[in-house]
Amino acid sequence: MDNQQHSDCDKDIPNPSHSHARKISDGITSSNQGLTSFIREYRPLHEALRKGDLAETEKYLIKDHPGSLCAKITSNHETALHIAIMFGHLDLAKRLVELMSEEDLALKSRNGTTALHLVTLLIENEDEIIDVAKCMVEKNKRLVTLSDTNDWLPVTLALDLGHTEMARYLYSQTPFEFFQPRLGKHGVVLLVQCYYTNLFDIALDLIDRCPKLVVTDGRRGLNFLEMLANMPSELLLRKNVPFWKRWLNPRSQLQVLVEKIPGSAQKTKRDDFGTNASSGIKKAKAVENDKQFPLQAAFSAIYKLNEREITAGRIREAILKAAKRGNPEFIVEAIRIHYPFLWNTNDENGRNIFFLAVEFRQAAVLNLIHGLAMKHVFANMRDKGANCLLHMAGLPPPSSHLNRISGALLQMQREMQWFKEVESIIPHMKKEYLNRENKTPRDLFTENHRELLKQGEKWTKANAGSCSVVAALVATITFAAAFTVPGGNDQIKGYPIFLHKSLFVLFMISNATSLFSSTTSLLIFLALLNSRYAEDDFLKSLPSKMIIGLSTMLFSLANMMLAFCAALFLTLKSQAWIVIPVTFLGCVPVIFYIWLQFPLLIEIIMSTYGPGIFNRNVKRWP
């Protein structure tokens, strides 16, 4: 609100002429005099409102200064009711509402805020706050339709601050015509807010009663569909609900959704959205975490729009955004509505959703191609630059894609996996196709991944070098320990003193195992330092060597600590108070090192031998 004041002041800055400067000076003097007047005249009232003193406030407003009840008592044009609410004195605010007339409740401050706007800003004692709002609305129902200078209705302001129960009540009291697109952006703003705050019952009611809201531009120039398209898949829907399950029911999706929400728009009055809602609406909260509802409802609303409204809604642009953001659910729902979207949705470069999926490395979208009956047609397409689908895999990946992958080795491996996956999709003869720059897909890949390949080599050698030092250290320690056994040897026979102890057997086995595995790890890391670092080597060869090296090194560390613990228990068995803390302290650095390296090992294993990011078992669609 203060920012709005500053912007209003900036608009009034005149040219720096002498006469204008005098007017500014006069205005400032007048403003200061007005502020002084406010302080002098209403000081007792301000003190009473600040303290929440009901008796003093009533004495001032009723007996001493009857006309002050609706007076603007601050330089920001707030009334006594505004001040009482800002200080959080709800009982005092209720009493002032009783004293004020219907017209007085609609008085606005300089920022255009009514007292009801201020009530929505309070965060404590939610039930009492809603009671104050009810007192106001029951006395003047027009309050819910008044917006401030920033064009916020009370309901949208409440929801913007996350006050969901207050928003439910205000929504039930606001005439629906104020959410119609012809009266502004209140409806689409509220729809977007409902999505982010999981108020899906209100969102579905809005879409059901005014389908055009899903293609109406909001304050940032995006409509609701475009906002959903920009959502990554994991944020838009729950991952445990396969999106193709929604294809099984041929009925209107909105009707299905409405039936899933007892007491929704078709079965109850809008009053049920208030805090005294029916049990059905209360049950609606149980499904608020299922974010597939707004997506289904939004696309079901498209059926009710005409061709002009669909075109103006920029659905094709939204589909392209969904492809870039990795939102296959949005794409499937859009194409189910209008199948030609699959064929004629291209960007300015002539690239369809599958080209963009490869370019922006969105595997979930690319996987959809395996569910098409005419998969080969899309695999044979070219863009305006004569690039085929495999050329897209040769383009440099988005930085956001690489930032999610640990280490340059795995980043280069992921790029090779993308190239090989797309290569398996396109016809064999397309692999050597030239684009307008006379480059094959492999040429483009090599050119754009030269720097990443160097980084992958550098990262792998650096890790192999540091790990080989650890492996060599473990091998040295365990080799020496094999000849300096705990307890020493018998001076006559030469056998170890603890030869027949089970702990000694454990010590020797773990020490020997640690020696063999550390030696193996050392040899593997040395091989990595001298390996070839070609593009194809990053797919399996180099990651496999790193897996063997890391796993044997971590295994050797674990066995070395086991041997250490067994030796301590053998030599200090009668002094457990020394053995236990020393064993614990000795294991801490090794455990810490294993804890740091183990996640990397798991990531390499999953990236190399795991299920991968690509899925060819996709249900036939659309």
Q: Which residue has the higher pLDDT, 34 or 76?
A: 76
pLDDT of residue 272: 56
Q: What is the C-alpha separation between 530 and 518, in angstroms, rounded? A: 19
User: Is pLDDT of 261 > 60?
Assistant: no
Same domain, 174 and 306: yes
User: Is pLDDT of 389 > 80?
Assistant: yes
Q: In the structure, what pLDDT confidence band is assigned to residue 42 with cuts at 50, 70 and 90? A: confident
Tokens of 291: 């974010």
Same domain, 177 and 223: yes
- Of 315, 345, 375, the one marking the end of a domain is 345
- pLDDT tens digits, 414-433: 999 999 999 999 998 889 99
Residue 614 lies in a domain: no
pLDDT of residue 300: 85
Identify the CA nearest to 7 among candidates 112, 160, 158. 112
Q: What is the C-alpha separation between 83 and 65, in angstroms, rounded? A: 17
The CA-CA-CA angle for residues 145, 151, 157, to 5°, reads 75
Task: Supply the range of the domain harboring residue 50.
Answer: 1-150
Same domain, 307 and 272: yes
Same domain, 566 and 494: yes
pLDDT of residue 497: 75
Q: What is the C-alpha separation between 92 and 152, in angstroms, rounded? A: 26
Same domain, 334 and 466: no
Identify the CA nearest to 440 among candidates 387, 478, 476, 489. 387
Q: In the structure, what pLDDT confidence band is assigned to residue 253 with cuts at 50, 70 and 90? A: very low
pLDDT of residue 369: 96
Residue 621 lies in a domain: no
Range with the lowest mean pLDDT among 28-42, 137-151, 305-319, 372-386?
Answer: 28-42
pLDDT of residue 235: 58
Residue 575 lies in a domain: yes
% pLDDT > 90, the chain: 60
Q: What letter does residue 60 receive in the DSSP assignment?
A: I
pLDDT of residue 574: 66
**Which residue reads 């502004």 in tokens?**
184
Range with the lowest mean pLDDT among 236-240, 290-294, 343-347?
Answer: 236-240
Residue 622 lies in a domain: no
Q: In the structure, what pLDDT confidence band is assigned to residue 609 with cuts at 50, 70 and 90? A: very high
Average per-residue pLDDT for the chain: 84
Same domain, 426 and 404: yes
User: Is pLDDT of 35 > 70?
Assistant: no
- Dihedral in degrees, nearest 10, Cα atoms 164, 165, 168, 170: -100
Same domain, 394 and 306: no
- Dihedral in degrees, nearest 10, Cα atoms 183, 186, 187, 191: 170
- For residue 98, the domain's CATH number is 1.25.40.20
Residue 161 lies in a domain: no
Same domain, 210 and 351: no
Same domain, 381 and 327: no
Residue 617 lies in a domain: no
Q: Which residue has the higher pLDDT, 209 or 300?
A: 209
SS3 290: coil
Identify the CA nearest to 95 among candidates 147, 131, 142, 148. 131
User: Is pLDDT of 244 > 50?
Assistant: no
pLDDT of residue 87: 93
- pLDDT tens digits, 481-522: 988 877 766 666 667 777 778 888 999 999 999 999 999 999
Same domain, 248 and 294: yes
CA–CA distances in Å: residue 431 to residues 54, 71, 151, 280, 378: 83, 80, 56, 59, 15
Split into its structural domains, the chain has a count of 4
Same domain, 541 and 474: yes
In 111-235, DSSP assigns E strands to: none
pLDDT of residue 200: 87
- pLDDT tens digits, 187-211: 999 999 998 888 888 999 999 999 9
Q: In the structure, what pLDDT confidence band is assigned to residue 18 with cuts at 50, 70 and 90? A: very low
Same domain, 395 and 516: no
Mean of pLDDT values over 222-229:
92
pLDDT of residue 106: 95
- For residue 401, the domain's CATH number is 1.25.40
- Of 448, 478, 502, the one marking the end of a domain is 448
- pLDDT tens digits, 43-87: 889 899 999 999 999 999 988 888 888 898 888 999 999 999 999
Mean of pLDDT values over 432-438:
94
Residue 453 lies in a domain: no
CA–CA distances in Å: residue 298 to residues 191, 399, 545: 10, 32, 50
- Of 448, 480, 511, the one marking the end of a domain is 448
pLDDT of residue 354: 97
- pLDDT tens digits, 317-358: 999 999 999 999 999 989 988 888 899 899 999 999 999 999
Q: What is the C-alpha separation between 365 and 295, in angstroms, rounded? A: 17
Q: What is the C-alpha separation between 60 and 500, in angstroms, rounded? A: 99
Residue 620 lies in a domain: no
- pLDDT tens digits, 584-606: 887 888 889 889 999 999 999 99
Amino acid letter, residue 477: I
pLDDT of residue 502: 85
